[in-house]
Structure formats: C-alpha cells, structure tokens
C-alpha cells in the first residue's frame, strides 16, 4: 500500500489567486517544489485535493482548471516528482457535498483508487477544513500558515502547525518510521 501526502492546492503549494482561472497566474510558494522532492525521497506519493467552488459560481472554467493542474503536474514532473492525481470538489459550500472538505470524500476516493494506506498518510492544508478532512479520512494532518488559528476552530487540532512548507516536510520526515 502507498503512503501519501495529500495537499490542498491554494496557499499550500501555490499562491491563492482567489478563483484562479488563468493558467499563466500560477505562482509556487517557497519550498513547494523542493519540499515534495524531499518527501518523494522518503517514498511518499502525492495527491492534490482542492475545493473549487469557483466552478459552481461560474468564475472558473473547468477547462482552465484542468490546464492549471496539467501545468502543475508538468512542473513537478520536470524535477522528478509525480503527482498521482488532482481531485477537486466543484461545489458551493452550502451544498455540504461529501467530496467537499471538511468531508473526507476526495481522500477516500484517492485511497480506493490508488491503494493508499491512510494511517501512514498525511493531509496538509492552510485551513482547518483541510485538517478535519484528513482526520475524518484517518490520516494525520498539518495546518500550514496562520490563516486560521487552530485554537479558534470547532475541529480537532492538527498534529502540527507549520509556518512554511520546509517545516511541513521536516515534521513529516521526522515522524516517518523507516
């Protein structure tokens, strides 16, 4: 079975452009590329799981979203990192859809499709809904950044609260039994 780091996309790997619709506007966060390369060396695979309500709002064209994900995948492939899949929930928050985080639907779908051991996997995101999706799926979770302090959340705290992706990678590596 695979061990995976599930990553949220916006403000986790790339700069959040608020309904990113232009593939030319992709900007990677510091340590995003080299961080995944380091984790790959510890036998982690990667799946991107992202809420994309901009589709339902008519602000993001699904063709552009696919192109954005294709370009991200190609940039990681260029440095020898393969991303297993990009899963997205194109639903409004009010729908409470099972695929939309904090629900674990995207993680469980990936686990089924790619034979992922959720107990050996991690969820990393910039919101407590990402942390909660990981917990509900059975992974350990890391909150990245200061957008949502965990102490103000109705959800269980993350296993670690990181300032940047470098700290995320160090924590995962230090907590990976070999």
- CB-CB contact of 21 with 59 (8 Å): yes
Determine which one of 10, 45, 126, 130 is catalytic: 10
Q: Is 10 a catalytic residue?
A: yes
Cα separation, 36 vs 23, in Å, equals 21
**C-beta of residue 47 within 8 angstroms of C-beta of residue 85:** yes
Q: Of the listed 8, 45, 126, 130, which one is catalytic?
A: 8
8 is known as an active-site residue: yes
Spatial CA neighbour of 173 closest among 18, 59, 41? 41
**Rounded to whole angstroms, how far apart are CA atoms 98 and 113?**
17
Catalytic residues: 8, 10
């Amino acid at each position: 079975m695979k061990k995976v780091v599930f990553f949220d996309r916006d403000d986790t790997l790339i700069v959040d452009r608020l309904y990113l619709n232009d593939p030319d506007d992709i900007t990677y966060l510091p340590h995003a590329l080299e961080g995944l390369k380091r984790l790959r060396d510890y036998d982690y695979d990667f799946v991107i799981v992202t809420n994309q309500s901009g589709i339902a709002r008519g602000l993001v064209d699904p063709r552009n979203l696919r192109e954005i994900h294709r370009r991200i995948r190609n940039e990681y492939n260029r440095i020898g990192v393969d991303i297993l899949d990009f899963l997205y929930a194109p639903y409004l928050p009010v729908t409470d859809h099972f695929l939309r985080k904090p629900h674990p639907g995207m993680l469980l779908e990936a686990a089924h499709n790619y034979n992922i051991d959720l107990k050996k996997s991690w969820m990393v995101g910039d919101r407590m809904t990402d942390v909660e999706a990981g917990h509900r799926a059975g992974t350990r979770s890391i909150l990245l950044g200061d957008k949502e302090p965990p102490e103000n959340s109705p959800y269980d705290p993350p296993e670690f609260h990181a300032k940047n992706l470098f700290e995320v990678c160090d924590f995962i590596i230090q907590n990976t039994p070999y």
